Homo-oligomer: A and B are copies of this chain.
């Protein structure tokens, strides 16, 4: 049953992702029409630099007036791949007001203003889909939102940034230091000239906020996500990880806290056992590991970025939204009915690997162990190595709260026999 009147689509932004979306809309037009039940017609492409040559896009469709484009009034779907907060936010709101549904790949905007955008979509009876906003083409928002809708998710553990995974994988496999691995990532195009958003965990934190909201049917803001970058991970940390049968990954972790009445979301480097499925995620790939009551452990794996994979996720959404338009309905909106509070980082409970530089003399271990005991942090294993009056002490703890561990480390720093805290790394995925 094919409708002949086409669905009208406007494209906001025509960079790497946008031009790939436009290309596939043309080359796969028949497939898309068959899957949606109506042809799709690209009626306008809003860009900043109209003079740039865009292969395969009719120049007559190109405009610099994005506002006028979304106000046309006859649009079925607006695809927003501009990125950033403004003008994307205002354009999406205007699109809803003028009758269009929206497919977006904008993680920064969704993480910051997802709640308001969802409310606007619902008020106008429109769809807001954004599979491409988290981890490119991994395709996990739909399973999380729809397939696990009858299950209870307890934890999401993800490698959601390809740049940092490339760097950490390189450090792991070659023994390189952070700077050397970053230089290689930059040379190969895996890291941007200014890698801050990636290596300091800002990108991953935005994705963690979106994931936590969907997984737990609640609202988690960007400010609710604890964030720690991976610039201080050293070759020595990888050596320590190997001794424990672990590797190091930058993880986005969203969990139900304690009794399930609150949630936590955080991004930081962590050791995970080599036997964990996330440990073998190589290069710039991403993967998200989901633990739920009934399903147990699931993992979704795929390219974390790139024009074509992201465009594929956008087009999957385009098909779903197109089908909804034709049947006169909308898909499942953001359900935030659970309205769970977000607990502070201090209440997060996990294990820790702490490496201390200490004086090589009798009684140091006893002093250190006393400090841990006084703060209620139970020690799992201790490894001591001494040379030339200096020694290192590696302590792995049982599960303890971040607050208790923080208090322990502060007290350790005050001991005369502790020359320095070489590293503190969380141990996850056990």
Contacts and interface: CB of A to CB of B under 8 A. Distances in A.
Size class of A's contact patch?
A: 35 or more
Contacts of A131: 147
A303 interface: yes
A320 B142 contact: no
Given A143-B142, A301-B277, A150 B28 contact: yes
Nearest to A312: B294
Nearest to A144: B139
Nearest to A301: B299
Contacts of A328: 329
B142 A147 contact: yes
Contacts of A217: 31, 34-35
A296 B302 contact: yes
A298 interface: yes
A146 interface: yes
A390 to B, nearest CB: 39
The 7 A-B residue pairs with the shortest CB-CB distance, nearest first, are A150-B315, A294-B312, A149-B319, A299-B301, A147-B316, A298-B302, A151-B312
A319 B146 contact: yes
Contact of A303 (B32, B296, B315, B316): B296
Contact of A295 (B293, B299, B303): B303
Contacts of A287: 299
A298 B151 contact: no
A211 to B, nearest CB: 15
B146 A320 contact: yes
Interface string A267-300: 0000000010100101001010000111111111
A294 B20 contact: yes
B277 A316 contact: no
A149 B327 contact: no
Q: How many copies does the complex hold?
A: 2
23 contacts: A34-B337, A34-B338, A35-B217, A35-B332, A35-B335, A137-B295, A139-B298, A143-B143, A146-B319, A146-B320, A149-B320, A150-B315, A150-B316, A277-B280, A287-B299, A292-B312, A293-B308, A294-B308, A294-B311, A296-B302, A299-B299, A299-B300, A299-B302
Given A24-B294, A35-B150, 10 more contacts: A149-B319, A150-B314, A285-B297, A294-B309, A294-B312, A295-B308, A296-B302, A297-B301, A298-B302, A327-B330
Interface string A310-343: 0111111111100100011110100101100000
Interface in A2-42: 20, 24, 28, 31-32, 34-35
B296 A150 contact: no
A337 B32 CA distance: 11
Contacts of A293: 308, 312
Nearest to A330: B327
A152 interface: yes
Contacts of A337: 34-35
A246 to B, nearest CB: 15
A148 B316 contact: yes
A149 B315 contact: yes
Contacts of A338: 34
